[in-house]
Amino acid sequence: MSMILNIFRGRCPHCEKGRIFEKLGNPFLFQMPKMKQKCDVCGHSFEREPGFFFGAMFVSYAVAVPQMVVLLLACKALGLENIPIIIIVIIAFILLSTTNFRLSRTIWMYIFRNV
């Protein structure tokens, strides 16, 4: 349970105390989150090797698609037409992009934390 909380808080997968991101990003200002190179507390290097976060794209897909499906079903339940639903889902996708970026990279690091 604490691991899930640490993933949402963006804590280091090694010591679970240091923060992974120095800037959280802002979708309204088109700013992406900025990662730290190493953990401030334990010195753990977040990027194990070049291209390590390539696999986080697949995690991002697995995170974003259920969000959009839930939103789509909620809009359908409210009786909205298809075009407004598409616009709402696209806006939600953009607004959640920085959160999903952070979440997917953090989940990816936690998957390989003991390897």
| Positions that interact with Zn ion (CB under 5 A) | 12, 14-15, 18, 39, 41-42, 44
What's the closest the beta carbon of residue 3 comes to Zn ion, in angstroms?
14
Q: How far is Cα 53 from Cα 64, in angstroms, rounded to an integer?
A: 17
Measured from the CB atom, the residue of 18 and 33 that comes closer to Zn ion is: 18
Measured from the CB atom, the residue of 34 and 113 that comes closer to Zn ion is: 113
Measured from the CB atom, the residue of 12 and 75 that comes closer to Zn ion is: 12
What's the closest the beta carbon of residue 59 comes to Zn ion, in angstroms?
20
Which of 49, 37, 46, 52 has its CA nearest to residue 15? 46
What's the closest the beta carbon of residue 36 comes to Zn ion, in angstroms?
10
What's the closest the beta carbon of residue 14 comes to Zn ion, in angstroms?
5
- Each as own residue / partner, the long-range contacts of residues 58-65 (CB below 8 Å, 24 or more positions apart, any chain) are 59/103, 59/104, 59/105, 59/107, 59/108, 59/111, 60/100, 60/101, 60/103, 60/104, 63/100, 63/103, 63/104, 63/107, 64/93, 64/96, 64/100
Measured from the CB atom, the residue of 19 and 93 that comes closer to Zn ion is: 19
